[in-house]
């Protein structure tokens, strides 16, 4: 029997905050308001794609290499 990990196609604001090094939802909102992070409207909610979150991480020099020490 094979197993797999669920990979969401769209992250809620709360999930995005957790994915972004445990940032707060308020910080996610701030980054979006500044145009640093691009969210989408889905059924009246803000969501973020994994690609957008990864692009945002790569754009942040202090986060881009966060797994190099592991």
Query: Which domains, ranges and CATH numbers included, belong to the chain?
Result: 11-64 (1.10.1660)
Question: What pTM value is reported for the model?
Answer: 0.78
Question: What does the pLDDT look like over 1-15, one tens digit per residue?
Answer: 555 455 668 999 999
The residue ranges of the chain whose pLDDT is under 50 are 4, 69-70
Query: What local confidence, expressed as pLDDT, does residue 70 receive?
Result: 41
Residue 15: Cβ-neighbour burial (10 angstroms; 0-12, 13-18, 19+): middle
Task: Give helix then strand counts, H and E, for the chain.
Answer: 4, 3
CA distance 41 to 37: 13
């Amino acid at each position: 029997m094979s197993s797999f990990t669920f990979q969401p196609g769209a992250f809620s604001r709360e999930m995005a905050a957790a994915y972004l090094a445990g940032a707060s939802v308020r910080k996610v909102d701030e980054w979006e308001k500044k145009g640093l992070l691009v969210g989408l409207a889905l059924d009246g909610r803000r969501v973020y794609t994994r690609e957008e979150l990864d692009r945002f991480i790569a754009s942040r020099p202090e986060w881009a290499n966060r797994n190099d020490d592991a």
